[in-house]
Amino acid sequence: MNEQPSAIKRIFQSIFQLLNVSRKIIVNLVFFTVLIILISALFSGEEPVIVPERAALVLDITGDIVEQKVEVAPMDALLNEAFDQKEQRPEVLLSDVLQVIERAKSDDRIQVLVLKLQHMKRAGITKLRMIAEKIEEFKASGKKVIAYGDQYLQDQYYLAAYADEVWLNPNGWMLLDGYGSYQMYFKSALEKLAVSQHIFRVGTYKSAVEPYMRDDMSPAAKEANTQWLQDLWQQYKADVAAQREFSVDNFDETAQGLLEKLEKVDGKIAQYALTNHWVDALKNREQIRQALINLVGENKHDSFNHINFKRYLRAIKPAFPIEQPNSNKIAIVIAKGIILDGNQDPGTVGGDSTARFLREARLNDNVKAVVLRVDSPGGSAFASDIIRQEVELLKAAGKPVVASMGSVAASGGYWISAAADKIFAAPTTITGSIGIYGFFMTLENSLAKLGVYTDGVGTTDFAGFGITQPLSDEMADILQLGIERGYQDFLELVANNRDMSLQQVDAVAQGRVWSGMKAKELGLVDELGDLNQAIDEAALLAGINQFDTLLIEKKLSPQDLFLQNFFGQAVKFLPIQAELKASNIEQAIMLLKREYQTVSQLNDPQGVYAHCLVCKIN
């Protein structure tokens, strides 16, 4: 006699069948959505990018300007677009911006460069100065540069200042708020949660762990941060003042001074900008349209003849990179982002992955020298040293290494640079921060409040060591000794490679942060220059005159490379969503989330870090 399933079993079987059917429907919907997009892209025919004759190139940068993009899988990018999941922080490659302006300079079809920058986010003065140099070269070719916008943020205005004319909407606004370094501090919050903190550091100015041991910035950190922030701000003011042909005293650095100027123009910020020579004219959108039509003519869409940044880049940049196989190479390896142990995706420096790129350059007979482009605040001390070892092996193989510092090359970022034959930095590079720290938290007191305790036996004093037990004085001394040994190793690394004594290095170390300009005075860098000058120096050290550059990075599979280019065209069939701006509450939540992510991703196997948390500008 067959036993009938129970009522409860039948109910669960029905629920499972319903869920399974729903799953298949959703998967099929996604599949057919992607399939329709692919078919549309295949049979629509790719519309070639046509650069209009006598046109304006509109530099409408959207997102952060970066040395290397955070990797997003092509299929993920397509699905994000399909389901309206916009990038939280879109990125634009610095090299793409430079290439576009460089090519437009000699393109007879491009008559005017239009800077439309209101969607440009963070860049940093070091990258901005590189772009500004290209804008200057564009102007030197006899072509005009015009900037216009509804508003100007500080980074946006820096580039706008290099235009022949700067226009602002009559109801627009601008504010130059200077440079600051502000952090969240969690000491009191952690005490309320009864979290036991164990912090080990070396360096009077090593302030990376201050947020967990204080509720405010220490006087030593304020002293050090003020100096490098002032160096960067003075450079910003000097550059803008030179372009706008006014005194650096024209900058408003007090609220009272700004208030007095605004009162004179009845609170109209745009009029204030015009009166103080920040802008040359106030124009509404129709006036801007007519002015640009007068310069380059009108197109069939009732706008001026133009091509935007992305389309022009697509017109000049080959979809698939072409490499000259047998020529001499200067290899470029980019170390951008926090330094973590192991293999990491682009946008983060992996100890193993970045070392592998350097090893690839060492084993390539065509590579005669290497430029290590660093844009990193540091991170794992162990991963930093893995990378440093590969730099030493390159030198031992007779291949010169030149470190080229971008916006920041501090702590671990300086660690991986120090062994290079030559170090180039921009005047505004944030560097130094020679010091290390370690910290972790234990929860024995927090758990005790909940009535949870840990107890047991072990064969050594170290058995069972973990976050649920208090840290003994002896273990604390052992950990501190390791940190001090690590700091000594850092000093010796710098001293041996910079021709300095340990005492000289220690005097400029202690975790203190410097601008590139000051670092050169102190002997921490050799030359002030950009990536191109570093490449030229690498060729000189290698003794070669004719060479190509070879970017060594994570290689996409043939499938991913096809999808990346193919889906770049397929996305045009998806609806374009308006850019959303986060509310103040959302911004605060995202800030807390980033603070958590910064700490949670640290993965040094020994818990020892050469990381500069203050090396970021708010």
Contact 286, 304 (CB under 8 A): no
Structure tokens at 504: 């000289």
* Residue closest to 277 by CA, chosen among 246, 248, 243: 246
Contact 200, 316 (CB under 8 A): no
* Residue closest to 490 by CA, chosen among 280, 285, 206: 206
Tell me phi and psi for residue 379, to 5 degrees.
Answer: 160, -120
* Cα dihedral 306→310→313→314 (10° resolution): -100
Helical spans, DSSP H, in 245-284: 255-264, 269-275
How far apart (Å, rounded) are the C-alpha atoms in residues 422 and 283?
Answer: 49
Q: Left (φ > 0), alpha (ψ -120 to 50) or beta: where does 451 sit?
A: left
How far apart (Å, rounded) are the C-alpha atoms in residues 163 and 169?
Answer: 16
* Residue closest to 169 by CA, chosen among 294, 21, 289: 289
* Residue closest to 371 by CA, chosen among 531, 495, 582: 531
Contact 602, 342 (CB under 8 A): no
* Cα dihedral 335→338→343→344 (10° resolution): -90
Catalytic residue of the set 206, 237, 336, 422? 206
Question: For the stretch 220-251, what's the b/e string if a residue is b when 16 or more beta carbons lie within 10 angstroms of its beta carbon?
Answer: bbeebbeebbebbbbbbbebbbebbeeeeeeb
Contact 368, 356 (CB under 8 A): no
Catalytic residue of the set 411, 417, 433, 515? 411
Q: Look up 411 and say whether it is catalytic.
A: yes
Structure tokens at 167: 């226009």
CA distance to 146, 210, 317, 370, 380, per residue, from 334 (Å): 33, 30, 20, 11, 17
Task: Specify the 3-state DSSP secondary structure of 574.
Answer: coil
Tell me phi and psi for residue 209, to 5 degrees.
Answer: -95, 5
How far apart (Å, rounded) are the C-alpha atoms in residues 134 and 94?
Answer: 12
CA distance to 57, 96, 328, 614, per residue, from 318 (Å): 19, 12, 22, 39
User: Count of CB atoms within 10 A of residue 257's CB?
Assistant: 11
Q: Look up 139 and say whether it is catalytic.
A: no
C-alpha torsion sign, points 160, 165, 169, 170:
positive
Q: Is 604 exposed, middle or buried (0-12, 13-18, 19+ CB in 10 A)?
A: buried
> Which residues are catalytically annotated?
206, 411
